[in-house]
Structure 1
Amino acid sequence: MTVRDEIHAQITGALADAKFPIGTPEELLAAFPDGANTTCKAGNVEMTAGEAGKLLKASDFPFRSAKQVADVIVQRAGL
Structure 2
Amino acid sequence: MISGQRLTPARLAVITSLLIPLCFLLALTANYAPVVIAGFALGYGAVNGLMTVVKATLALAKCIRLRGQFSERLSSNA
TM-score normalised over the length of structure 2: 0.30
Instruction: From the two aligned structures, give the one with the greater helix fraction.
Output: 2
Give the structure with the higher percent strand.
1
Q: In terms of Rg, which structure is larger?
A: 2
